[in-house]
Structure 1
Amino acid sequence: MTDSPTADLLMIAMSRPATLGPGRLICVDGPAGSGKTTLANALADMTQAPVVHMDEVYAGWDGLADGIAQLETILLPLVEGAPGSYRRYDWHAHEFAETVLVPPSPLLVIEGVGSGAAGYDGLRTALAWVDAPEAERRRRGIDRDGDTFAPHWDAWAAAESEHFARDRTEARADVVVMT
């Protein structure tokens, strides 16, 4: 392994067989505010891979399970070489908006809470777990999303903790990154 989690994750993914038709899938999971987007963006910068952000597929603050369910419409068509898709959630309108197409590509990165859901293990090429101390994650989340996230933090944290415990996400990760 190298000193770069981004390089390590890419090396792992490229050393394994393709899982989405001819393409590979890297998922970057972990609790809110941990640094998942930063790692996913670094992967995209290094590879030009498209990134799907789970924040666009959750059905609001209570939508973790619905977001995870949308992985099916993204991933299963890609296995067959067809574009996947998802409905983008409009956080200001509090409803789903347009359908976003995800074309087949040599590498796809999906980042966000639930992106590493165990139900899709057979389609994932590599999984990263990103974490940070709770106080730091909370500060980052509130700094990023402002006061709109603050009243929802505790409920969201409880939902993601329950999901991670059930799916054992961190234990299944190929790379663990503490930020």
Structure 2
Amino acid sequence: MTIPQPQQQQAVPKQNSAPYLMPLLVGGLVAVALGVYGRAHTPTGYAVGLSGFTGAQAMKSWLATGTFVLAIVQVVSALAMYGKLPGVQAPSWTGTLHRWSGRVAFLLSVPVAFHCLYALGAQFDVPRVLIHSLLGTFFYGVFVAKMLSLPKKGLPGWTLPLLGGLAFTTLTGLWLTSSFWFFTTFGITF
């Protein structure tokens, strides 16, 4: 009786996943660093103020609303660019609109985030504020991961839509726990 010999299996070359995981790692580090800073930093109670607003909360609410509206433009323009809107042929300027709406949205979000971190810090005593603090740090982590993933060639096709969807979903939660809350609690003020 002969004993069957195991068949030789072809060696599958290992694919180096480090270049694809690096954006996620850096994004995670950014989120953690912002959370640690927000928690360890002694809040000052003030940070920045733009003229034309009655106070910091109104300023942050309107800038966050502008950011949120531009994020909607981001989602719609991305869907149009990738042919995911039935019956819609994306105009040639859709890519430019997508890039610039993203840039402006980011710029609008910076004074809001700066004020939140520097003036208020990460707070965990009120559920709404806890959720808002966690979403804020997560948003910038996802944003960094998405931006670092953009120049990577060979990423799975679902990578950018997933990161973009996470960024939009997180921004929606941020807007609901800040601007929407402010407007429904104090009214629409400038």
User: Normalization by structure 2: what TM-score?
Assistant: 0.26
**By percentage of residues, which structure has more strand?**
1
Bigger Rg, which one: 2
**By percentage of residues, which structure has more helix?**
2
User: Normalization by structure 1: what TM-score?
Assistant: 0.27
